[in-house]
Amino acid sequence: MGAKELIQKKQENKQISATSNMNMLLQSMAGAIKKALPAQINSERFQRVALTAFSSNQKLQQCDPISFLAAMMQSAQLGLEPNTPLGQAYLIPYGKQVQFQVGYKGLLELAQRSGQFKSIYSHEVRENDEFEMEYGLNQKLVHKPNLKQERGEVIGYYACYHLTNGGESMFFMTKDEIINFGKSKSKTFNNGPWQTDFDAMAKKTVLKQLLKYAPLSIESQKFMSMDETVKSDISANMDEINNDTVDFEVDIQTGEVINDIVVENTNEDEAN
C-alpha cells in the first residue's frame, strides 16, 4: 500500500471514529434530546439527520460536539432541515464552534407559517431590466425582467410582502450594499453559503431587513433571533439559551479560521 493510500485510509478511520463518537453521544443524551425536541419531531429521525450532517462534513467533525448538537436542536425546533439541497438552514463550522444559520428558503417558511402574509418574496434586479421604485407615502415598485436580450449583471435585490390585512411594504439594496453588509455583519462571510449560494444569501439579507419593519408576532421574533448564533447547551427553548460570541482571525486567502476564543453567555444581536 502506497503513502497516498495509507493517508486516505487514516483519514477514513478518523472519520469513522468521529461519527461513532457522535453516535454514542447522541445515544447517551437521548433523554435530554427528546425533552428538548418539539412534539412533531421524532427523536430517532433527529439523530439520523444529525449523523448524516455530521458524517458528511469533516470540518463539523472537528467542532465541539455540544455546539454541533445545539445548532441541530435550533434547526429542529424551527422545523428546518439543515445542510440539504432545500437550503432551509445551515450548520457552519468555524474554529471549534458551529453556527446555526437560517437560509433564504427557511426564512420564507418561517414568515409564511405566521399566517400574517398573503405573499412574501425577493428577486434580483439585473442591469438591463426595467426597474423603478419609490419610497414615501405612496410606495411604488415596477420590475419588468428583460426577456428580449441578455439581462446583464445583477445590480441589486428587493423584497416585498403583502399582509392578509392589506398592508404591504418593500426594501431594496444594491449588490455592493449587500456585499458590504455581509462582510461587516456575518462571521461566516468567507465560507459557507455566502460563498456557495450568494444569490440565496443576498435575497435572505434584503428580506430580513424588510421583516424588521413587519408586524411580527413575539414567537416569530424569537425565531428570527436564533439566526446566526452559536450556543453551547440544549434546551426545550433554544431561543432562551444565550448566544456565545467567538473572536477569531481569518486567513484572507483561504477564508479559514486561524484561531478562536469563545466568550460565553452574551446576548449580542446578530444583524443578518
pLDDT at position 268 is: 42
Question: Which of 124, 103, 116 lies closest to 168 in space, CA to CA?
Answer: 116
Query: What's the chain's average pLDDT?
Result: 82
| pLDDT at res. 15 | 53
Q: Strand, coil or helix: what is 272?
A: coil
Mean pLDDT over 187-193 rounds to 80
171 versus 188: which is more confidently predicted? 171
pLDDT at 215 over 70: yes
- Distance, in Å, from the CA atom of 222 to the CA atom of 85, rounded to the nearest integer, reads 25
Question: Over the stretch 21-59, which tens digit does the pLDDT of each residue have?
Answer: 898 988 888 888 888 888 878 888 888 888 988 988 888
SS3 of residue 67 by DSSP = helix
Asked whether the predicted pLDDT for residue 248 surpasses 60, the reply is: no
- Looking at residue 162, its amino acid is H
For the record, the C-alpha cell of 107 comes out as 426564512
* pLDDT (0 to 100) of residue 16: 61
DSSP assignment, residue 102? E
* pLDDT reported for residue 246: 52
Average pLDDT over residues 68-73: 92
Q: Where are the alpha helices (DSSP H) in the chain?
A: 3-28, 30-36, 43-55, 58-61, 65-77, 104-113, 175-185, 193-196, 198-211, 218-225
Q: What is the number of other CB atoms lying within 10 angstroms of the CB of residue 152?
A: 12
pTM: 0.76
- For residue range 219-231, what is the model confidence (pLDDT) as tens digits? 777 778 888 899 9
Q: Please tell me the predicted confidence (pLDDT) of residue 175.
A: 97
What DSSP state is assigned to residue 270? P
Confidence of residue 271 (pLDDT cuts 50, 70, 90): very low
Distance in angstroms (rounded) separating the CA atoms of residues 64 and 175: 35
Q: Which amino acid is at 219?
A: E
In the chain, the N- to C-terminal Cα span, in Å, equals 49
